[in-house]
Amino acid sequence: MRILVLGATGFLGSNLFQLASENKRLKVFGTSRFQNENCIIMQVDVTNKQSLESAIRKINPEVVIWTLMSFEEETQLIKLGLNNLLSEIESEI
């Protein structure tokens, strides 16, 4: 199963990413808003529709897990980022 963890370098996301990566039946990918040395963690800005679309299409996940948060811009992250994610998932159905 292909899993995409959005926010894989934050507290919740990194723990979930590590735990899921230990299961050999899962192929786990992650995102971060910053560059990361881990080759299976992509730099993705969920508030940028093209950035998110590119990641979804490249990874083609069966499961997407949202672990993102932003103290400063939480409302913006949810309104724009989550809407971008939902519209991309709906277009794939």
Show the domains of the chain with their CATH numbers.
2-92 (3.40.50.720)
- Confidence grade of residue 90 (pLDDT, cut at 50, 70, 90): confident
25-34 contact pairs (CB < 8 A, 24+): 25/1, 26/1, 26/2, 27/1, 27/2, 27/3, 28/3, 29/2, 29/3, 29/4, 29/5, 29/59, 29/61, 30/4, 30/5, 30/6, 31/4, 31/5, 31/6, 31/7, 31/55, 32/7, 32/8, 34/9
The lowest-confidence range among 4-8, 9-13, 50-54, 70-74 is 70-74
Q: Write the pLDDT tens digit of every residue in 24-63.
A: 999 999 999 888 887 889 999 999 999 999 999 999 999 9
**What is the per-residue pLDDT for 92?**
67
Residue 93 has pLDDT above 80, yes or no: no
H-run or E-run covering 5 = strand 2-6
Query: Mean pLDDT throughout 66-79?
Result: 88
How many Å apart are CA 42 and CA 9, to the nearest integer? 10
User: Taking the model in full, what pTM does it have?
Assistant: 0.90
Q: What percent of the chain has pLDDT over 90?
A: 73
